[in-house]
């Protein structure tokens, strides 16, 4: 367990902010600028698929956004990633790892979305982070594992999202 002191506490807060910006980007911009939050060689691991490099990650989200437009009700998928239980492990001044739980609410169509019965998935996540020469923290590796899921089929949906 990391015993936070002033310096590492500041890092923990910076990383928490990065994580919340990440969620905001996914939920309000369909991840179209998510590449800015990853390192150039960043990796995104989604179940059996591995996306290596910023370009591959950007392509994943662009393809996903295109599927949403084509397949979802009103061409929209509403979602909120609620990140909780954030644990920061600060390795050194430029490397740290976040562990957290993602409660993912999502459905096809515009807000407000009716018939909420709880989160669609509960996912364990980890995010390895690296501080670049510009002083900014970015995601070097993001991976997740489904722990609970709501398997009720919702017509027209593209399927469970990345995180």
Partner 1 sequence: MENFTLEAAVIALQLQQMLMELGYELDLNSGRKIGDFYTEDGAFLCSSCAYRGRDSIVEFHRDHLMRVRGTHKDGVRTTRHTFTNLRFDIQDNNHWSVYFISAYYAGEGTPPVPKLAGPTTVSDCRMFCRREADGKWRIAEFGVTPIFLGSDSSRTAR
Cα-Cα-Cα-Cα dihedral sign, residues 29, 44, 101, 163:
positive
Extract the tokens encoding 100: 């957290």
Q: How far is the CB of 122 from partner 1 (least distance, A)?
A: 6
Contact set with partner 1 (CB under 8 A): 1-6, 9, 12-13, 84-88, 99, 101, 103, 117-122, 124, 145-151
**Which residues pair with residue 82 across a beta bridge?**
103
65 or 101, CB closer to partner 1? 101
13 or 20, CB closer to partner 1? 13
Extract the tokens encoding 161: 């999202």
With residue 12 as reference, give the H or E element that holds it: helix 6-29
Extract the tokens encoding 112: 């407000």
Q: How far is the CB of 8 from partner 1 (least distance, A)?
A: 9
Q: How far is the CB of 117 from partner 1 (least distance, A)?
A: 6
């Amino acid at each position: 367990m990391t015993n936070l002191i002033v310096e590492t506490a500041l890092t923990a807060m910076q990383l928490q902010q990065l994580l919340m910006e990440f969620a905001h980007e996914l939920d309000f911009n369909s991840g179209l600028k998510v590449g800015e939050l990853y390192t150039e060689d960043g990796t995104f691991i989604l179940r059996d698929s591995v996306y290596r490099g910023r370009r591959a990650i950007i392509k994943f989200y662009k393809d996903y956004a295109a599927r949403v437009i084509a397949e979802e009700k009103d061409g929209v998928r509403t979602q909120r990633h609620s990140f909780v239980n954030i644990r920061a492990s600060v390795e050194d001044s430029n490397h740290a790892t976040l562990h957290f739980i993602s409660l993912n609410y999502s459905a096809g169509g515009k807000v407000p979305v009716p018939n909420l019965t709880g989160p669609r998935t509960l996912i364990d996540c980890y995010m390895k982070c690296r501080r670049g020469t510009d002083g900014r923290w970015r995601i070097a590796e993001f991976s997740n594992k489904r722990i609970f899921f709501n398997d009720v089929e919702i017509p027209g949906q593209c399927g469970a999202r990345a995180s």
